[in-house]
């Protein structure tokens, strides 16, 4: 199966870096029916945490943010790459970006695997994120331009 590459938009919200705050963000999105393609959370400065949100419907995400008093970042552009878990799957996309002289600033990777088990199927996952240096996208056209998110 060939990888599926699609452009996405994403934003981030900053919350206190304490137990339960991320869960409250995810709960509000779930209750409003906002489907997340991905999210990525990590500690920030001064006791805060940043939650990056990639939603299928950015307008719906904004409505939830407004209703909950969240301040969303400026919209950023990116990619979601979906495909089969295989050796070298991530390297191929990094090579294309490098060959186009697009600098990858940060990365973590995700793959989901479904394995047959006795009573059914077992699913495991790893999540991935790659940011491309601002200003180096669309001009050179590797893939389609923008940040690069791997799910």
- Please list the alpha-helical segments (H only) found in 12-74: 21-31, 58-68
pLDDT in tens, 104-116: 666 656 666 555 5
84 and 146 in a single domain? The answer is yes
Tell me: pLDDT of 151 over 50.
no
Tokens of 33: 């029916």
Contact 128, 151 (CB under 8 A): yes
Q: Rounded to an integer, what distance in angstroms lies between the CA atom of residue 130 and that of residue 52?
A: 12
112 and 50 in a single domain? The answer is no
pTM tops 0.85 = no
- 1 occurs within a structural domain: no
Q: Give the DSSP H or E segment for 92.
A: helix 89-99
What would you report as the CA-atom Rg of the chain, rounded to the nearest whole angstrom? Answer: 17
Query: Which of 24, 45, 75 delimits the end of a domain?
Result: 75
Tell me: pLDDT of 48 over 80.
yes
Tell me: pLDDT of 24 over 50.
yes
- 54 occurs within a structural domain: yes
pLDDT in tens, 52-97: 999 999 999 999 999 999 999 999 887 777 777 777 777 888 888 7
Domains contained in the chain, number: 2
- 2 occurs within a structural domain: no
CATH of the domain at 49: 3.30.2130.10
Q: Rounded to an integer, what distance in angstroms lies between the CA atom of residue 9 and that of residue 146?
A: 9
46 and 26 in a single domain? The answer is yes
- The pLDDT, as a whole number, for residue 136 is 43
Enclosing domain of residue 26: 9-75
């Amino acid at each position: 199966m060939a990888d599926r590459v699609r452009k996405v938009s994403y934003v981030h919200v900053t919350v206190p870096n304490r137990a339960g705050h991320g869960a409250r963000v995810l709960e509000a999105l779930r209750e409003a029916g906002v489907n997340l393609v991905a999210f990525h959370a990590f500690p920030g400065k001064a006791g805060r945490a940043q939650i990056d949100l990639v939603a299928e419907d950015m307008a719906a995400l904004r409505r939830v943010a407004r209703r909950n008093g969240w301040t969303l970042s400026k919209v950023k552009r990116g990619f979601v790459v979906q495909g089969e878990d295989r050796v070298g799957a991530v390297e191929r996309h990094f090579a294309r970006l490098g060959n186009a002289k697009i600098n990858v600033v940060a990365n973590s990777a995700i793959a989901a695997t479904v394995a047959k088990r006795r009573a059914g199927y077992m699913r495991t996952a790893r999540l991935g994120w790659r940011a491309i240096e601002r200003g180096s996208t669309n001009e050179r056209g590797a893939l389609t331009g923008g940040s690069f998110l791997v799910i």
